[in-house]
Structure 1
């Protein structure tokens, strides 16, 4: 367990901004269950859904951005959990890009790789490992998807979600697994002690030109689209 509470370059929970947040929220004074719940809710809802410049960012940078997707939110969630002494690890996958359609549109969707790197955090609680994937979409964004598509029966795939029940997805942690994209998984890379270890081996399937386009052009358009959806400008 010692390696699962360590500070790393990406899990930089000793950074002043993360230490200040932990102190301000009083997380060290809570029970372990309340620590996990409160940190989970913070990353899910106060770090809104959006696309950062890269996956392999330090937690302090993600906190400063104030937004993230599956991979960057996982890094921040792990750093904050370890910052209060809770063991956690990373599980790596790829997901099919179809679940991003709607959040990513037009030429940017066509240019995106078919399989996209995906991660979730696994936290140890009462001797069991809980999967915390439901942290990806913030409540405000998800509520707009539910407003438009929540009555749709069966599976819902798109706009950053792939779930069997959009109106009531498994996103609240109460000593359980949480999921919002898991049905889109198409490859399993296994467990890693840290995101640093994961990204040393696995990268997004983007060539240098497409990587530059994503970082400098596409993601800004994608984030603008996500913001419009969150603001209620989504129609079926």
Structure 2
């Protein structure tokens, strides 16, 4: 089984990632238990921040993300994949486009749209099947938005919060770009520039955005 190797982006041999998974490096836990544990840790210990965008390759390395306190959906997915691979659990990146329907005023103001792309999630291989999961929205943010946090049980997909607790539409998937063995940096940059052209109006050489 592939999807276990370290890469430039999934550099899980780095100390920052090894420290992160240290509590799960034990034979007393099954792969399912390890996957659930590290998913929950990445989901909640890194606050979701969709407003920071980088066009620098080094900012998408798991070792860099591990040292931050927040991250967007792609960054948190990269970090989770690196952790899973470091624990001997196959994992890969899955990208798509989503539309948010709750608390979108700032999104629309900054991006000119309530669509987020590329949206990152994780495919993990457990018990001979690939499962989708998304560590993007931390528990405290979900509580603020009145949305149930995505829980992963190691047996079922857990990647879409369609409605909030009152039944109001929260999120929908608009497009699926498929899965990738490694981070498709060039594809992501092209995708960002295509969907958010106004960000680049002032200076094409800008590589970091805090919107």
Alpha-carbon distance between aligned partners in 2 of 1:181 and 1:79, rounded to the nearest angstrom: 24
Q: Secondary structure at the match of 1:120?
A: strand
Structure 1, residues 207-228: CA drift from partner, whole Å, max 9, x if none?
434677793441xxxxxxxxxx
Which residue does 1:190 correspond to in 2? 178
Offset at residue 22 of structure 1 (A): 1.9
Q: Deviations over 1:81-126 (max 9, x none)?
A: 00111001122212236567145363x143x585521121110111
**Gaps in structure 1 of 5+ consecutive residues:** 147-165, 219-236
Cα offset for 1:54?
Answer: 2.0
Q: Displacement, 1:177?
A: 0.8
Cross-structure match for 1:199:
185
CA distance in 1, matches of 2:138, 2:129: 26
Provide the rounded CA distance (Å) in 2 between the counterparts of 1:36 and 1:61: 21
Q: 1:180, 1:102 → 2: CA distance? A: 21
**Partner of residue 61, structure 1:** 64
1:10 deviation in Å?
0.8
The size of the alignment, in residue pairs, is 190
Q: 1:103 to 1:132 in 2, by over 3 A?
A: farther
Give the whole-Å Cα distance in 1 for the aligned partners of 2:205 and 2:141. Answer: 27
* Distance in 1 (alpha carbons) for counterparts of 2:108 and 2:174: 21
Aligned pair partner of 1:176 in 156, 160, 167: 156
* 39-48 or 95-104: bigger deviation: 95-104
Measured at CA, do residues 181 and 213 of structure 1 come closer, stay the same or move farther in structure 2, by a change above 3 Å? farther
- In terms of fraction of residues, the more helix-rich structure is 1
Name stretches of at least 5 consecutive residues in structure 2 with no aligned partner.
163-170
